[in-house]
Amino acid sequence: MMHLRLGVVLVISALSLAGCGRFALNNHSLDYKKAQALEPLKFPENATVRPFTPLYPAPTVDPLAIQHAPTFESKTGNRYALPRPESMQPTSNTTEATATSLGRPQLVMDGNKNPLLKVEGPTASAWQYAFATVSSLNYKVISQADHGYEATIQVDNQNYVLKLSAVGSSNTIALFKPDTTFADPKVATEVLAQIYQNWPA
């Protein structure tokens, strides 16, 4: 009887451990990939309603960016799974360690409702990430400045200047017209949102 109980405990333990491995059941964590766009909310005719605007409008994502986006799936393809972090090499050089401590970007608005991308960390690294990301998207890079952190890109056959400004360790990325005025907020939001979504992990 004792051997039977021990056997049952071992079987249950083995199944529990297998649940985290290749025998894991589908927990529906990938169902978001099947989501479909819904039509805007419609009200009956002659209905009196208060005007409203979406608090979190969904940005327009280029199909090419979606096609090349990481999958973040388990080996069996039935669960959401982030890749395991690479092992870090110990270093005694504090400056080198600081140079790699770049934060994730944040989409913000300035006082005039112009969209901006804010990144904390070393300026050179922030621009390297931003330029590499925009180069991987479906935008034609016309030129990159030899001095400073700016590049001319083409969006819908129009030229714009992507520029990074830094104050200390705080970096701000914005989209401008060639005449140095801010780009149309709709265009800037689309470009900056794609950079934000495809920022290297």
Residue in the structure block whose two tokens are 């989409």: 107
Q: Is residue 124 part of a domain?
A: yes
pTM of the entire predicted model: 0.51
In single-letter form, the type of residue at position 46 comes to N
Range of the domain at 178: 101-197
Which tens digits make up the pLDDT trace of 148-200?
A: 899 999 998 899 999 999 988 899 999 999 999 999 999 999 999 999 988 88
* Tally of domains in the chain: 1
Residue 79's CB: how many other CB atoms inside 10 A? 17
pLDDT above 70 (res 6): no
Which tens digits make up the pLDDT trace of 107-138?
A: 999 888 899 999 999 999 999 999 989 888 88
Q: Is residue 181 part of a domain?
A: yes
Question: Domain with 105 in it: what CATH number?
Answer: 3.30.310.170
Are the CB atoms for 24 and 79 separated by under 8 Å? yes
Q: Is residue 143 part of a domain?
A: yes
Residue in the structure block whose two tokens are 């297998």: 18
Residue in the structure block whose two tokens are 């819908």: 156
